[in-house]
């Protein structure tokens, strides 16, 4: 009985982690495109892009450590 609750909590947190990874990926791609299309991007934009990329990579490593599947299940 105790293990069922643990499994549900893990599943919920894995789903939350995947959603956050997807959100950061979209934000990172948007920022990269902004910097790429810009002639002289401001330093704060570059800083925010690098910060977002670091967060994204950290969460990907966390998902890998947790052995979380990012595939869609139908």
From the list 72, 71, 63, the residue with the least C-alpha distance to 24 is 63
What is the tens place of the pLDDT at every residue in 32-69?
999 999 999 999 999 999 999 999 999 999 999 998 87
Domain ranges, ordered by start, for the chain = 20-69
Give the C-alpha separation, 51 to 6, whole Å. 32
State pTM to two decimals. 0.81
């Amino acid at each position: 009985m105790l293990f069922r609750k643990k499994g549900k909590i893990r599943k919920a947190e894995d789903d939350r982690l995947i959603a956050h990874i997807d959100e950061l990926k979209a934000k990172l791609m948007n920022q990269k495109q902004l910097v790429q299309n810009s002639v002289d991007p401001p330093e704060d934009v570059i800083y925010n892009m690098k910060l977002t990329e670091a967060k994204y990579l950290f969460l990907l490593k966390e998902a890998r450590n947790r052995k979380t599947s990012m595939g869609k299940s139908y």
